Copies of this chain bind each other. A is one copy, B any other.
Amino acid sequence: MISLASAKIPFNAYLNVFDCLWSERIGRGKYVDRFEKLAAEYFGVKHCIAVSSGTLADVILLSTLKELHPGKDEVILPAFTFIAQANAVLWAGLKPVFVDVNDDMQISSEAPYHLKEKTLCVFPVHLIGKSAISHMFKFTKTVVPIVEDCCEAMGGVENGIKFGTIGLAGAFSMYPSHTITTGEGGLIITNDDEFHKIARSIHNHGKWGGADFNFKYLGTNAKMTNLQAAIGCELIKTIDDVNVKRRHNVSLYNSLLDKNFYASAPHCYPVFYDSQKDRDDALKVLADYGIECRKLMGCVPDSEPYVVRFGIPRPDQYVNARRLANTGLFVPIHQNLTKKQIEYICDVIRITPFK
Contacts and interface: CB of A to CB of B under 8 A. Distances in A.
A176 B26 contact: yes
B218 A294 contact: no
Interface stretch (A47-55, A188-196, A266-274): A47-55
Interface residues of A, number: 60
Interface in A169-227: 175-176, 181-184, 205-206, 208, 212-213, 215-221, 223-227
A52 B52 contact: yes
Contacts of A54: 221
Given A90-B218, A184-B27, A228-B225, A83 B206 contact: yes
Interface string A84-97: 10010011010000
A223 B56 CA distance: 12
A71 interface: no
Given A218-B90, A303-B215, A24 B52 contact: no
Interface string A5-37: 111110001100110011010111000000000
A328 B208 CA distance: 20
Q: How many subunits of this chain does the assembly comprise?
A: 2
Q: Indicate the member of A22, A181, A216, A227 with the most B CB atoms within 10 Å.
A: A227
A298 to B, nearest CB: 5
A83 B214 CA distance: 10
A246 to B, nearest CB: 17
The 8 tightest CB contacts between A and B, nearest first, are A183-B225, A55-B221, A26-B183, A53-B221, A27-B176, A27-B183, A213-B298, A9-B21
Interface of A: 5-9, 13-14, 17-18, 21-22, 24, 26-28, 52-56, 59, 83-84, 87, 90-91, 93, 175-176, 181-184, 205-206, 208, 212-213, 215-221, 223-228, 231, 294-295, 297-298, 303-305, 325
18 contacts: A9-B21, A9-B26, A14-B21, A17-B21, A17-B227, A26-B183, A27-B175, A27-B183, A52-B52, A52-B184, A53-B221, A87-B219, A93-B93, A184-B221, A184-B223, A215-B304, A225-B227, A227-B227
Given A7-B24, A53-B223, A56-B220, 8 more contacts: A17-B17, A59-B220, A83-B206, A84-B221, A87-B205, A87-B218, A184-B223, A213-B297
